[in-house]
Chains A and B, each alone.
Chain A
């Protein structure tokens, strides 16, 4: 069905500003950036809608988490013309609405050693970017270390840890809530688990 909602009010400048925010989010992992707010269809946060309009086009393949309303795919199809896939492994972008029921990180494309960039980028929507268990990040873009508290399922950080050990393979992710975006690229490593192991030893 044809969507009833418009996209960016000023397509050129809105998408440039959002692209800049997404770029900064990956350049400074763990710091919140502000995107342009778009009136989103039901099921998308404003920042996720803006990111989707900015990143998707006719040549990108998108995996939508089952359970996202039909309005989301109608809206994306009308405004970006992107292709949809059922296989998360084959997608350029994966749109996740509910982190609790999302497939594990290994279900997405991690790229190949020759083409690590041919991986899936995750757009994960969260109700809030605060309030989870505190996690300390390290890696490029972080001077010493940076603490974040994303509300994610308990086993997520173990999966992330396992993924970063396979660098340069892996996925990059954006975490979206309201008009905020937080980036977590595959270069960002964790400290929490190691510290806990030391404490228990």
Chain B
């Protein structure tokens, strides 16, 4: 849907929104104050999607397995058309999360809202994701085991 090569910024924010914890996303959206009216172009719906992978990232694609996915499309109607459509695709079954992710995607394309959403929603979510990633990395680092191979001098 979003060509990551054509629009890398949008692909990045959609990923951030989809991976964010729902509670934090709700909290950040509340700091924005009253949101514009929007309608659901495609109400949240849960389904399955096939996840495909490539061995070592370069091999032929194979089907890894199916995962549960919830998607939603919202539309913000402006005074001058075209209306802005925001897409949300999130893992799991949370309809609310898909709707909020779609809403944020639409707001980020809206001239009057983009800056505010970047500062008050996207930035905290990215910071939280980085903190969590750093914590996980630190935890993994503490239990790291290094294997050494000793030269046996048989030759």
Residues of A whose CB lies within 8 Å of any CB of B are 2-7, 11, 78-79
Contact = CB atoms under 8 A, between A and B. Distances in A.
Given A2-B85, A4-B82, A4-B83, A79 B42 contact: yes
Contacts of B41: 3-6, 78
> Which 9 pairs across A and B sit closest by C-beta, in order of nearness?
A6-B41, A2-B85, A4-B83, A6-B40, A6-B39, A11-B43, A4-B75, A4-B82, A7-B42
Interface of A is mostly: loop
Contacts of A78: 41-42
A11 B45 contact: yes
Contacts of B75: 4, 6
19 contacts: A2-B85, A3-B41, A4-B41, A4-B75, A4-B81, A4-B82, A4-B83, A5-B41, A6-B39, A6-B40, A6-B41, A6-B42, A6-B75, A7-B42, A11-B43, A11-B45, A78-B41, A78-B42, A79-B42
Interface in B66-87: 75, 81-83, 85
B73 to A, nearest CB: 8
Nearest to A7: B42
Contacts of B85: 2
Given A4-B81, A6-B41, A6-B75, 13 more contacts: A2-B85, A4-B75, A4-B82, A4-B83, A5-B41, A6-B39, A6-B40, A6-B42, A11-B43, A11-B45, A78-B41, A78-B42, A79-B42
B13 to A, nearest CB: 19
A79 B71 CA distance: 13
Contacts of B81: 4
Contacts of A7: 42
Nearest to B83: A4
A3 B45 CA distance: 18
Contacts of A3: 41
A3 B82 CA distance: 10
Contacts of B43: 11
A85 B41 CA distance: 26
Interface string B19-42: 000000000000000000001111
A7 B83 CA distance: 16
A88 B41 CA distance: 30
A69 B47 CA distance: 31
A184 B81 CA distance: 41
B93 to A, nearest CB: 16
A4 B41 CA distance: 7
Contacts of B45: 11
Nearest to B73: A78
B118 to A, nearest CB: 23
A79 to B, nearest CB: 7
Interface string B30-67: 00000000011111010000000000000000000000
A6 B41 CA distance: 4
A107 B75 CA distance: 40
Contacts of B39: 6
Contacts of A79: 42
A98 B41 CA distance: 28
